[in-house]
């Protein structure tokens, strides 16, 4: 199954949850893509101890998820 998640928000918790969901979906599905739009393109700047977005993004891309901006 092909899944695309579109993120259009620069709130750290929203971006973090989107990456978490995408990683969970990669475990059971064939093809997951995250499309970053607008302010979410700078997701790396939202990384914090509470919301480790960069770690989840790394796991996502190493698990053959596609990240588009």
Whether pTM > 0.85 for this model: the answer is: yes
Both ends of the chain: CA-CA distance in Å? Answer: 21
CB-based burial, 17-31: b 16+ in 10 Å, e otherwise: ebbeebbebbeeeee
Tell me the pairing of strands 31-36 and 2-7.
Answer: parallel
The residues with which 7 forms a beta bridge, in sequence order, are 36
User: Based on C-alpha coordinates, what's the Rg of the chain?
Assistant: 11
Task: Name the average pLDDT for the chain.
Answer: 94
- 34-66 confidence digits (pLDDT tens): 999 999 999 999 999 999 999 999 999 999 999
Per-residue pLDDT at 1: 83
How many structural domains compose the chain? 1
- 13-34 confidence digits (pLDDT tens): 999 999 999 999 998 877 899 9
Q: Which domain holds residue 30?
A: 2-68
Per-residue pLDDT at 30: 74
- What size, in residues, is the chain? 69
């Amino acid at each position: 199954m092909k899944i695309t998640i579109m993120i259009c928000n620069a709130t750290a918790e929203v971006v973090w949850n989107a990456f978490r969901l995408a990683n969970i979906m990669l475990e059971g599905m064939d093809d997951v893509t995250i499309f970053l739009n607008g302010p979410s393109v700078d997701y790396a700047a939202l990384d914090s101890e509470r919301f480790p977005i960069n770690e989840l993004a790394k796991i996502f891309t190493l698990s053959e998820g596609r990240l588009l901006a």
